[in-house]
Each structure stands twice: as structure tokens, then as C-alpha cells.
Chains A and B, each alone.
Chain A
Amino acid sequence: MEELNFDVLIIGGGPGGYTSAIRAAQLGLKVGLVEREELGGVCLNWGCIPTKSLLHAADVMREAGSAASLGIELGKPKFNLKKMVKRSRDVAGQLSGGISHLMKKNKIEVFFGEASFRDKNTVLVGKQVFNCENVVLATGASAKNLPHIHSDGDLIWEARAAMTPAFMPKRLLIIGAGAIGVEFASFYRTMGSEVTLIETMEQILPAEDTEIAEIAKSSFIEQGIEVLTGTGIQSLQKKKNKLAAEINGSYATFDATILSVGVQANIEGLGLEELGVEVDRGFVSVDEYQQTSVDGIYAIGDVSGVPCLAHKASHEGTICAEAIAGELPLPIKKERIPGCTYSYPQVASIGLTERAASERGPIKIGRFPLLANGKAVAINDTDGMIKTIFDETTGELLGAHMIGPGVTEMVQGFAVAMSLETTEADLMATVFPHPTLSEAMHESVLSAFGRTINF
């Protein structure tokens, strides 16, 4: 039996956990990290990163298909699914290895296994005992099942199976049109599947601004995706190698189904209840410095609540490490966390939706369609819009909602603006480079105050 002492022990090596570990080590603390699977967590191994490899492949496939319109003759593009999936796994593997290196470089001790608390300062991993002054829960979240439908890895997939398909389903049903469902819909449609996307809420991408979600919906329908909102699935039965789904009282057959109905925090088996760590609606409750109801136990990332996004986790990891080290970091502002969906067209946003902003007080709204943006026309990708929302009295940028090419890279501009608390005056006074898609951001701001130039 080995006993080790740490200033901070981090449970979970995802983007929240490993970032927190590095920041704590930078601040001179003795840090240990426990991981039960692979460093990098879901994000790097089974989420953000491998799916971006697949979606990039889909983008290239789509562009190749439309190359003729640019004067390039390629013929009809073909794909090799096995190679495509292998590349996405290689990318994940390469980056996970990189984290292992970062841990060594920062002298963070990594232990593999399941962690559980003996008491609030003692954590057990296998036969090892860790005495820790502070513990950071960064255990993440797992895909949810529906009460009547469970993923089986065979024909009913959750994200993990959906990004390592053994075959290309001819007819695919996707249940849940959040960011994950929509990205898979985009990927499989581009690869030629007939995709049906159903969502119980009245809009797809329910977290996004309704107007943007409606544009995305029309675009998906135009691409041949069947989109059913306000719709649930009543039953799903396996028959031979097919699935029979009962939707709205009628039956349809599919070759595979993806369940993307949200995530639940990984809080089981740690012994949190015995310690009195407060949990609210399945997520661990924290204060603005990420501390739980138990002094010295912190929680970051998915396990500490929505939005379940990697960059929220890593930022909270930084805050929490600095707080433990005795600094007073600026707490995270949840309304300033950007969100990105890498479908075609891409969707990106930060801040309040129009509905939420208008409930808060008088607002001004700017809109600029990419159809009027020179660069978008030049690259033959004009399907999209930039929408900005300002507080009418203070000029505070309350929200920015974008759909179209490149928006997931551009949203950081508005994130910086919000973080610096710029008003409309500063954004208007900023020179945006020409010709870029980002000019549409500038025009959208101008439009909110009746000053748009090119539309």
C-alpha cells in the first residue's frame, strides 16, 4: 500500500482536468491526476477532435463535389470509410500522446484507475491512497439514453459508435438535434445517407437563437435531411438488420440510429453523497470559484453543470487552480462562453439569444446576410447571416449569433469584444480587413444602429 500526498488531486484528465493540473503546477502546487480511460477525455478521444476530422473530410468531399462550378474537373468524388475513420482515430491518438508529454513536462503525476473518496482529504485509486488538501472533480459527463431506447453499439449508436461506423447506413435516424446530433446529420448526409433528424423541442439547436436555428433548419432540408421538430419517438424495434421506428404514429425503417439526447454528469461511484457534496439536477453545485458545498472539494467542466463544453471546462479548471493557490481569479461569466456547431452550414454564438435579451430590457438588433459579403460570394458560400444584439441604453454587446462559412473561427472576435466589455462604439471604430467574411461582423454591428453600408 502506497500513500502519497498532494496539494491538489484532480480526478479526470479531460480538457478541464489536465488544464487545471497544468495551471496548478505552474503556481507551484504539488499535483496528481487520476484518469480511468485516456488522457484528453471525451473531447479529445471521443468528441470534439475526432468528429472534426470526420467533418473536415465531409467538407472536402462537398467541395470536391462542387468543384466543377469553380472550373475544376474532378469527376464524382468517392470515399473510403475505413480510412476516414482511421485518420480520425490517429488524430485523437496523436493529441492524447501530447497531453501525456505535457503532464511530464509540468511534473504532474498521472495515475490510471477509478477514484473514490475515503474522506474529503483521502482518495483511493486501486491500492493507492492519496492524501490531498484539495480535490478537483473533473469527471465529465456521459451520453444519456432514453427511458425506452438504449444504445447497443450495434444499430443503436451513441456518439462513440457513431464516429467509428463499420458501415455507412443507407437510412439513418438521429434522435436529438443538439450540436452533436446536427453535426452527425451533416456528416452522414454529405456521405450519402438518407438522414431523418428528430427533436422534441420546437427548434433544432435548442440552445441557439431561434432565427439562426430556423436558417439552419431550412438549409438542412434543402440538403435533403428530413427534419422533424416538436417530435418524439414512441418506440424503436430491431427486426433482423433493420430498425423499425414509430414516429408520430407511423412506422419507418432505418439501418441505424444515433442517440444524441444530451449528457449526464459522471458522479456515480465517487462517494460524493457520503461527503455531503451537494448535487442539483444531476450536476455538482459549485460557487463562483468552482468550490462545492464541501470545503476543499472543487468541481469543473461538465460535472459542474451546463453548458457542457470543453472550453468552459478548461477555463473553470484555470479559475479553480488559481483559487486553490490563493489568488482571486475573475469568475467565469456563463453568458460569455461561446458555442460552436461544425455542421454545414456552421453555427456559432456567444451571449444572450434575442428572446433572452429582450426579456432583460430594450435592445437593438443588427443583421447582415453573407449574400452581401464579397468574400462569401467569391468562395461560393453565401448561405448565412451574422446577427448581433445590443443593450439599447448602454450599447453593451449582449449576444452574437452566426451561421455560415468560417463562423466557428470568427466568433472569438465577439468573445474578445465581450470579455473586454466593448460597446457598439468600439466595434464600429474597429477596422476590419477586406476582403474577409469577418467584415460581415462589422456590418452587423453597423446595421444594429441603422448604419450598414453594403446592404
Chain B
Amino acid sequence: MPKEIYLVKVGMSMTEGMVSEWFIPDGGEVKKGELVYALETEKVNLDVDAEYDGVVKHAVEVGVTLKPGDVVGHIYEAGEEIPADGAIGDVKASSEISITDDVVSNQKAPEVLAKVTPEQPVPVKSDGRIKSSPAARRLARELGLDFQMATGSGPGGRIIERDIEALAGSKPAEKPPQPARQTTFKVSPLARKLAEDRGIDLAYVKGTGPGGRIIQSDVENASQSLSSQSSGLAVTAELGSGPKPGEVVSVKGMRKTIATRMHQSLMESAQLSMDMEVTMNDAVKMRSGLVEEWAAIGVKPTYTDLVIKACAKALTLHPMMNSRFSFDGIALLEEVHVGMAVALPEGLVVPVVRNADKLSIKELASETSRLAKAAREGILGLDDYAEGTFTVSALGMYGVDSFTPIINQPQSGIMGVNRLYDGMDWEEERIVKSKKMNLSLTWDHRALDGAPAAEFLVEVKNLLEAPYRLLV
């Protein structure tokens, strides 16, 4: 009988995982102790090795989400007949197995043929140096691990990044140890200033600059791990490595939410978009005036703020755009709460400016900057997300001229803000330079038709072109 290779369970909290890479190709030979596949879960990456000599047949492809205990392949011993491709039986239902140092599951585990790579003697070069890649050493340092404890799986036993990840994964997935308090340390002036501003105790920050000096990036890393801990996000084992071509980025967390909601929005409603050019000369003038005037009190209105204000005002005049569609009836909403899309490294959040129509531009600008800051720091409250009736999404800072934003359900419209550019106006027979910006409106055709939607857009345009009306 061929021996089964299972998706191993790492830690009690693991509910799903996948084979992220087969180290032994389908039909390839494996020796006991050699790495067979790479396991990827939400929390860790870990390399798994074989317990038997033989020929490996894959039962699943890379990237398929499975439960722990599922069969991912088989090992055929010498003399066993190896079936042709596709002849392998179904993937077995999962059963609980556990192979960590944690509390052992009390359910009966099937025979585990693959297990976590045991610690093996470290390959040492004849001159005493341990072969390891710089990236692996960096990762080890970031994770607070001794890279020499890892088992090298690179060419010639060299320790590479995945070995450090495996080492991290084989340890109980606890939070990193609290760094020791230092009594004396060197620190750069900028790092000291940043630490003061962010309330970070330098005595606990590890310096990576020349001579162990604490530098800017150390403080930034410390404050990042602090904020991710306080917001309850799991610290993953993939610190500091962005996705590279050829990798598969798993869809989870914020990515999964965005994917589901955007797709759902397009399936559920009848969305279409239109663009309109707005002359921004007066808005530019007014904004720079306000920026200067409010510099002392630290309020800086953005163009997006002006658009939010203009939309809010226009929404009070065009209630069909401020509505919630249902086949039982279109509910026209009494209050105007405008959501603003904020991009984060891990995705997108849409905090809401409540009663945006009733706020002065000064109040609105302070509120949007508070929301954006809170979003970036991951400290938005539930209230900050709730009850949006319309959304404004800005891509102008990337030089975008036009796009088709997707409605944030169950709203009926979303306004895209594009870049400000030098356009032209006719003055008699002369062409003059003029500041322009396009607005991109997406609306739900189920709720309202093109004509009323265009009227709303014109209203917003008129408000931005005569922006004093936003002040009253």
C-alpha cells in the first residue's frame, strides 16, 4: 500500500492550509528526511519532509486550500505499482491531527508520515563559517531567532529564507519575546525625535545601525509592531517581504473582504459611470487661501475635502442619489454621511464623515484628517465605518484622469476624484490656461436614470466652480 502524505497541522488554531510548493516533482523520487512540500497557513510557512523512501505522487495542486489531515499525496515504496496520473483516489476527509508541542488533540490521529523537519546538524564550512543567505540572516534577526538553529535546505546545505520561516513555524506561534531593557544605548537624533513623538521607550528598541545605534527604521519597525499588536492583527512570519512575481498571494483578511464586497456590488446592482470636467480655478484659489489661513491651527483642507463637501450639499438637493434601493421601494435617506476611501498597504478602508452636509469646511477637513490618520494607525472605531450613504474615492494623487469606481453597497452612488491638471479655456478667440479636474460618477441605474444622475453631477460641478457656495 502506498503511504499517505498529509497536510500537517501546526498549532491548535490552524483550520486550513495549502501546499505552496512541491519540492519533489510528481513522480519524483524521495529519500526519508528530504523535504517534500512547503505548507502555507495564515500564520506560518513550514517545510515538511518525508518519512519513507520512494516515489512521490501528488494528489493536490499547489495553492488548493485544504484542511489539516487531508491527503496531499502518496509515497510508493520500491516494487509497488505506481498508477498513471489521475488514478489516485479522492482526497480523504480531514481528521484532527496535531504535531506541535501544544496541547495534543484528544482525537485519534491517523498515522502521520510527514512531520516537521527535525533539527539536524548545522552544515559548517571547513573554515568554520555556516553557509547562509543574507536574506535568511535578516529574517532571523527580524523574528528574533538564531539563524544557526535552522536547517539548511538550499544548495550545499546553505540556510535560506524558507529555512528560517520553517524554524519560526516549528516554534510555538507565540508572540515574540519581549526585548530586554537596555540601560545604555546609542541613538540617532532623528530616531530619538520619532520615538518621542510616538511614545516609544528606546530602552526596548534594538539598534541595527552602525555600532548598534538605534536608527529611524528601528523606531519605525518598533512602532509598527506596537500598533499591529494593539489592533489585534496577527504578526505573520513573512515580515518585510513583499509579494514577488511567481508567488501566489493568498486571499484572506482585508483582501478577502474587498474581493467579496466589490464583486457582490457589481453582481447585485446596475452600475454605470460618467465623467465631467470641472474648472477648478476658483477652488484652487480658495483652497490655498484656506490652507494659509488655517496653517496656524493645523487644519489643511484637501481637494477631496472640497469634493466631499460639494457632494454632501448636492445630495441634499438630489435625494435620489442619497438612497438605498430595494424592490420594495427606494428609501430616500434623511441624513448625508459620506464615506471616504483610504488606501492602506494591506488594502482599503472606507471611514465615514457623518452629516457631511452640516459640517463647515474647517470641521470637515479636521474630521477627514482624523479619520485618515486613525485608518492608517488601525484604530478606527465601529462608529467610524457605520451608515455611509454615499462615497468619495480619490485617485488624483496618482495622476488618474478617469475611472469607474464601484458602489459601496447598499449606497446608490460613488464619486471618483481625479487629478488636477492644466487645461484650457476659451477667452474670446484666445486660449488661456485653466485648472481642470474630472469627476467620475458611478451610480445605480436601478435607483435613478442618466438624466437625474447627470443633474446631480452638474450640481457638484457648479458648486466646485463657484466654491464660495460651499462656505455658506
Contact = CB atoms under 8 A, between A and B. Distances in A.
Interface of A: 278, 287-289, 291, 295-296, 323-324, 326, 328, 330, 359, 362, 393-396, 420-423, 425-426
A394 B135 contact: no
Given A394-B194, A421-B215, A291 B188 contact: no
A-B interface, 5 closest residue pairs, ranked by CB to CB distance from nearest? A421-B188, A289-B134, A421-B190, A323-B134, A423-B189
B231 interface: no
B86 interface: no
A51 B216 CA distance: 38
Interface string B125-145: 000011011110110010000
A278 B193 CA distance: 39
Nearest to A28: B127
Interface in B165-194: 188-191, 193-194
Interface string B188-202: 111101100100000
A374 B462 CA distance: 55
Contact of A295 (B155, B188, B215): B155
B214 to A, nearest CB: 10
A394 B197 contact: yes
B189 A425 contact: yes
Contacts of B155: 295-296
Interface of B: 129-130, 132-135, 137-138, 141, 154-155, 158, 160, 188-191, 193-194, 197, 208-210, 215-216, 245, 300, 397
A325 to B, nearest CB: 8
A24 to B, nearest CB: 13
28 contacts: A287-B134, A287-B135, A288-B138, A289-B134, A291-B133, A291-B134, A295-B158, A295-B160, A296-B133, A296-B155, A323-B134, A326-B130, A328-B134, A328-B137, A328-B138, A330-B210, A394-B194, A394-B197, A395-B190, A395-B193, A396-B190, A396-B193, A421-B188, A421-B216, A422-B189, A422-B190, A423-B189, A423-B193
Given A330-B208, A330-B210, A394 B141 contact: no
A394 B190 contact: yes
Contacts of B245: 278
Contacts of B188: 420-422
Contacts of B194: 394
Contacts of A278: 245
A326 B189 contact: no
B133 A330 contact: no
Given A394-B197, A421-B216, A291 B135 contact: yes
Contacts of A396: 190, 193, 216
A423 B197 CA distance: 14
A308 B115 CA distance: 49
Residue among B130, B155, B193, B300 with most chain A CB within 10 A: B193
A421 B141 contact: no
A395 B197 CA distance: 12
A393 B397 CA distance: 21
Nearest to A418: B190
Contacts of B209: 330
B129 A326 contact: yes
A426 B133 CA distance: 38
Given A289-B135, A421-B189, 11 more contacts: A289-B134, A295-B133, A296-B133, A296-B158, A328-B141, A330-B210, A359-B397, A395-B193, A421-B215, A423-B189, A425-B189
Contact of A289 (B138, B191, B300): B138
A423 B134 CA distance: 31
B129 A426 contact: no
A362 B300 CA distance: 10
Contacts of A296: 133, 155, 158
A287 B154 CA distance: 17
B190 A423 contact: yes
B440 to A, nearest CB: 22
Residue among B137, B190, B194 with most chain A CB within 10 A: B190
A46 B133 CA distance: 35
Contacts of A287: 134-135
Contacts of A393: 197
Contacts of B190: 394-396, 421-423
Nearest to A285: B244
A234 to B, nearest CB: 26
Contacts of B208: 328, 330
A102 to B, nearest CB: 24
A324 B132 CA distance: 9
A362 B155 CA distance: 49
B132 A326 contact: yes
B283 to A, nearest CB: 19
A329 to B, nearest CB: 8
B445 to A, nearest CB: 37
Nearest to A328: B137
Contacts of B215: 421
Given A288-B138, A421-B188, A422-B188, A394 B132 contact: no
Contacts of A323: 134
B189 A426 contact: yes
Contacts of B137: 326, 328
A444 B355 CA distance: 46
A394 B193 contact: yes
A137 to B, nearest CB: 16
Contacts of B138: 288-289, 328
B189 A295 contact: no
A414 to B, nearest CB: 14
A420 B189 contact: yes
B194 to A, nearest CB: 6
Contacts of B300: 362
B217 to A, nearest CB: 9
A324 B194 CA distance: 33
B135 A421 contact: no
Nearest to B133: A295
A352 to B, nearest CB: 14
Nearest to A396: B190
A289 B208 CA distance: 15
B329 to A, nearest CB: 46
B193 A295 contact: no
A323 B132 CA distance: 10
A406 B439 CA distance: 49
